[in-house]
């Protein structure tokens, strides 16, 4: 009957595998079949070993590739971490360096007998024939033309030649236009300290009879000529030390070469002295028509022949000292 055919097929599908399995179970006890199985296994053993080795090799290759990829990612992560740490270390070193500079400047300011303004160097003159820098403070901070500029350790750096509300330009003592009257600390010898582009300073017109030696310290002379005429630089600021002396036979003067005390080519922070009254006094006011100076009156001081050559004085009004 048609309806019985699917049932028969299903029964055959179960019974045939069952019969085969039973047959194999009963046949496994036969010695001949066992020897046959061992022979077949021995014959196919090399093939099985080769296939197994190939499979292990393929698996090992894929595992190696995965391990290489993992190590590459870890290496990239470590490189990124090392780069971050290097940047942080450089930033920390820079902060420590700036902190040391500012600490030295603060100590100098505390030991200074004048009022000063701290400023940061923001630019340098691009000309190879000038030694001029710019700072980020100006008239708003009480700075004026002619103010003296120093670095750490009260080392002389230069003078203000131009000023604006929030900037100032400073000519350094290494500029060829700069001249300072210097005093050799041990002997008291004086001479003109002139700038030059090579980095060292030249101290000229030192009397040949004055004893000077290598490593002698040279400071600003701060000569006061009386009648209100004062040096453009206060006395005692460190200019540099003597590194060479040139004496010509029968010459009346000798020349010394100085290493500047301030690192003029690497200045980052400076102090501007704002209350030193150097140079010529303020010119007197014009007298009224009915007033005339007496015969014993003192004439206005004249710088001609009175001020050491080339130490250009400045005319300053009575300074207004900004509140601390």
Top-confidence residue, 97 or 11: 97
Residue 178 has pLDDT above 70, yes or no: yes
pLDDT of residue 108: 87
Give the pLDDT band (50/70/90) at residue 318.
very low
Higher pLDDT, 309 or 5: 5
**14 — pLDDT class (breaks 50, 70, 90):** low
Residue 304's pLDDT band, with cuts at 50, 70 and 90, is: very low
Which range among 11-25, 120-134, 169-183 shows the weakest confidence by mean pLDDT?
11-25
8 A C-beta contact, residue 255 and residue 206: yes
Quote the tokens at residue 314: 């400045």
Lowest mean pLDDT among 38-47, 72-81, 251-260: 38-47
pLDDT at 54: 73
- Say yes or no to pLDDT of 161 above 90: yes
- Domain limits of the chain? 1-111, 116-273
Cite the beta strand spans of the chain per DSSP E.
116-124, 132-135, 148-150, 156-163, 168-172, 179-184, 190-194, 201-207, 217-220, 224-226, 229-230, 238-247, 253-260, 269-273
What pLDDT score does 166 carry? Answer: 95
DSSP state of 266: G
Confidence label for 5 from pLDDT (cuts 50, 70 and 90): low
Please give the model's pTM, rounded to 2 decimal places: 0.63
Residue 25: the pLDDT is 63
The 10s digit of each residue's pLDDT in 203-256 is 999 999 999 999 999 999 988 766 667 788 999 999 999 999 999 888 999 999
Distances (CA, A) of 102 to 105, 107, 136, 179, 263: 5, 9, 15, 28, 15
Considering only CA atoms, which of 266, 304, 54, 323 is closest in space to residue 152? 266
Q: How many residues in total does the chain contain?
A: 324
- pLDDT at position 162, please? 95
Distance of CA 141 to the CA centre of its chain: 25
Give the number of other CB atoms < 10 A from CB of residue 202.
17
% of the chain surpassing 70 pLDDT = 69
Is the sign of the CA dihedral 231, 234, 240, 241 positive or negative?
Answer: positive
Position 284 scores a pLDDT of 56
235 and 177 Cβ atoms separated by less than 8 Å: no
Give 94's pLDDT tier (boundaries 50, 70, 90). confident
Phi-psi region at 185: left, alpha or beta (left = phi > 0; alpha = psi -120 to 50): alpha
- Does the structure show a pLDDT above 50 at 172? yes
- The CATH H-level superfamily of 116-273 is Rod shape-determining protein MreC, domain 1 (2.40.10.340)
Mean pLDDT comparison of 81-85, 103-107, 255-259, highest-scoring range:
255-259
What is the rounded average pLDDT of the residues 12-22?
Answer: 69
Backbone angles phi, psi at 218, to 5 degrees: -115, 130
Answer yes or no: is pLDDT of 103 > 60.
Answer: yes
Burial 150-164 (b: 16+ CB within 10 A, else e): bbbebbbbbbbeebe
Q: Which residues contact 235 (CB under 8 A, 6 or more apart)?
A: 183, 219, 220, 221, 222
Among 35-49, 113-127, 294-308, whose mean pLDDT is lowest?
A: 294-308
Mean pLDDT computed over every residue of the chain: 79
């Amino acid at each position: 009957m048609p309806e019985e055919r699917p049932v028969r097929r299903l029964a055959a599908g179960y019974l045939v595998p069952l019969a085969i399995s039973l047959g194999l179970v009963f046949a496994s006890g036969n010695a001949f079949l066992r020897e046959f199985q061992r022979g077949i296994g021995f014959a196919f053993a090399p093939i099985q070993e080769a296939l197994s080795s190939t499979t292990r090799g393929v698996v090992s290759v894929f595992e190696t590739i995965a391990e290489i990829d993992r190590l590459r990612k870890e290496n990239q992560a470590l490189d990124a971490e090392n780069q971050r740490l290097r940047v942080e270390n450089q930033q920390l070193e820079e902060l420590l360096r700036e902190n040391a500079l500012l600490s030295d400047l603060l100590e100098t300011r505390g030991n200074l007998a004048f009022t000063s303004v701290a400023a940061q160097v923001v630019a340098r003159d691009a000309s190879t024939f000038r030694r001029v820098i710019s700072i980020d403070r100006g008239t708003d901070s009480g700075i004026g033309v002619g103010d003296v500029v120093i670095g750490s350790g009260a080392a002389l750096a230069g003078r203000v030649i131009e000023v604006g509300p929030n900037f100032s330009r400073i000519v350094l003592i290494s500029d060829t236009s700069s001249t300072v009257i210097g005093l050799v600390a041990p002997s008291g010898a004086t001479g003109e300290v002139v700038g030059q582009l090579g980095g060292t300073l030249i101290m000229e017109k030192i009397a040949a009879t004055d004893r000077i030696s290598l490593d002698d310290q040279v400071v600003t002379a701060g000569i006061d000529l009386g009648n209100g005429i004062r040096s453009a630089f206060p006395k005692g600021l460190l200019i540099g030390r003597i590194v060479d002396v040139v004496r010509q036979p029968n010459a009346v003067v000798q020349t010394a070469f100085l290493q500047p005390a301030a690192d003029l080519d690497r200045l980052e922070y400076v102090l501007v002295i704002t209350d030193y009254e150097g140079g010529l006094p303020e010119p007197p006011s014009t007298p009224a028509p009915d007033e005339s100076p007496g015969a014993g009156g003192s004439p206005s001081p004249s710088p001609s022949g009175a001020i050491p050559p080339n130490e250009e004085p400045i005319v300053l009004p009575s300074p207004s000292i900004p509140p601390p």
